[in-house]
Structure 1
Amino acid sequence: MTAQITREAALRLGMAARELDGLSAAAFAQAVGDRLGLPLTETRLAAITVTDLREILAGNHAEKDCAVGVEPEKLKQVARLLWGEDLAFSELPPLDSHSDGDMPGSIRAACASNTGEVLDGHFGSCERFLIYQLSPAESRLIAIRPTLEADHAEDRNAARAALIADCDVVFVQSIGGPAAAKVVRASVHPVKIPRPESARAVVARLQNSLRHPPPWLARVMGVPAQSLEKFATTDNA
């Protein structure tokens, strides 16, 4: 089980088990994994329901008598912990409100991360991608995507590329040639940031470039690069 669970998911499971009056975190994780499937990621835990919890606690994997005295409100609180809500010790940043179409003319960027809201991950080994929507006026953290499930695919790099295929840019500490080729094939532009840095700071620099994009970013945005305008020719025929 430990090899098939992210740190964040383990934290949520541990806090939820504590809420259930001393239930073994290991037994609880095993039961949840049997219910939701492996690997256990934040994404899978976010789908758990109160009904799931009630049936897990009444099943063969729960500890003896653990379902006795568990009120509906307690089960709701446990579910919120597993979703990542009300979790004071979570290392993950809260998401910003966002709906498709909110930010016309914006682009989407992914940051490879292992820790909080820090760009400190390598493409092939990071625990998650932080997904930002940004325009010249604002930026929003709209999703956090665990990579653990992608690592069980036959082609890990292709699965990771597919995970961020809706993005225009991905920031990583490093990325190998074959992996970079698969990212580019997914129409995502990889950018290396060798040292750990605040993901928000990296995104802010990209955001500042949107009004006057360099050639590579202009290609990503699908607009002419202003720096190349002087080389453009005009057909007067």
Structure 2
Amino acid sequence: MADKLSPEVALRIGLAARALPDTDPKRLMTVLVSALGLPITPTKLGRLKVAKLKAAANEELAEIDNEHLKAALNLLKGIGVNMEASEESLPQTQAYAEGDMPGSIRIACASNHDTRIDGHFGSCARFLVYQVSDSEVRLIDIRSAGQTPDEEDKNIYRAGLIEDCQLLYTVSIGGPAAAKVVRAGLHPVKLPNGGEASELMEELKAVIGTNPPPWLAKVMGVDAEERIRFRQDEEEFA
């Protein structure tokens, strides 16, 4: 059956199987053939629902909880799957737990290549997610933008991928998209010339550790009184 799969579909199935407990691609393939028939195509996978996945092949996957099944289904639909870059070509992330870096903020960087900020919000391949404090920079996650589900607004979907961040660094973002990003709780920063993300994060680290401008102080959660002090300090030393 494998010779009937396109490389894209084979990748989706492999990643989806990895997202399911005690499931290898062969087991998942059996379920998909039962649910969809052959050939298995991106169009068929795009129409698949959790209920059908759970019922197929005599309920082979019925004991797996819905959260795992939803995650696998998203991968089967191509959400979070990037055909252009393998996992090996992407930079390594660093472990992070909440509270590891007191006073830090989280930044999403729109990227298409390696660790460069070179993507537009609405079309970038992935978001590099950095945690930055006044003393440390960590790349804590890489989130593929993937393919937007048919029923969702693209900009809302992408904003949702990074809604735990406080800043968005991007080469470009349109007005309507920026409004949706702001509603998700992020402050968008346009960098038309892009740049190496790690270098820009080091610059941000230095600003956090010295005298952040009021807009950044607000993002960092500094109270209004302290933000006024920052503004006064800027005027004094201008």
SS at match of 1:112: strand
Is 1:190 the counterpart of 2:193? The answer is no
Which amino acid is the alignment partner of residue 117 of structure 1? T
Q: Cα RMSD between the aligned structures?
A: 3.1
Is 1:210 the counterpart of 2:208? The answer is yes
- Call closer, same or farther: CA 1:113–1:88 in 2, change over 3 Å: closer
Give the superposition deviation at 1:118: 0.9
Quote the residue 2:119 is aligned against: 121
Correspondences of 1:134-149 after superposition (within 5 Å): 134-149=132-147
Structure 2, unmatched stretches of 5+, are 40-80
Tell me how far apart the structure 1 counterparts of residues 193 and 17 of structure 2 sit (CA, whole Å): 31
Give the superposition deviation at 1:56: 4.7
TM-score, scaled to structure 2: 0.65
Quote the residue 1:181 is aligned against: 179
Tell me how far apart the structure 2 counterparts of residues 55 and 98 of structure 1 sit (CA, whole Å): 33
Q: Aligned pairs, how many? A: 179
Which amino acid is the alignment partner of residue 9 of structure 2? Q
Q: Would you say the 8 A contact 1:32–1:56 is kept in 2?
A: no
- Call closer, same or farther: CA 1:134–1:51 in 2, change over 3 Å: same
Deviations 1:72-130 (A, max 9, x none): xxxxxxxxxxx9xxx99832111111112211211100000011111110001001101
SS at match of 1:90: helix
Quote the residue 2:26 is aligned against: 54
Correspondences of 1:1-237 after superposition (within 5 Å): 26-27=5-6, 29-31=8-10, 33=12, 35=13, 44=16, 47=19, 51-56=23-28, 90-150=88-148, 152-211=150-209, 212-223=211-222, 224-225=226-227, 226-229=229-232
TM-score, scaled to structure 1: 0.65
- Call closer, same or farther: CA 1:153–1:110 in 2, change over 3 Å: farther
Structure 1, unmatched stretches of 5+, are 1-22, 37-41, 63-82, 232-237
Q: Would you say the 8 A contact 2:17–2:24 is kept in 1?
A: no
Could you say which structure has the higher helix fraction? 2
Which amino acid is the alignment partner of residue 95 of structure 2? S
Quote the residue 2:47 is aligned against: none
Quote the residue 2:58 is aligned against: none
Runs of 4+ in 1 over 6 A off after TM superposition: none
- Call closer, same or farther: CA 1:230–1:57 in 2, change over 3 Å: closer
SS at match of 2:130: strand
SS at match of 1:108: strand
Tell me how far apart the structure 2 counterparts of residues 45 and 92 of structure 1 sit (CA, whole Å): 21
Q: Would you say the 8 A contact 1:91–1:115 is kept in 2?
A: no
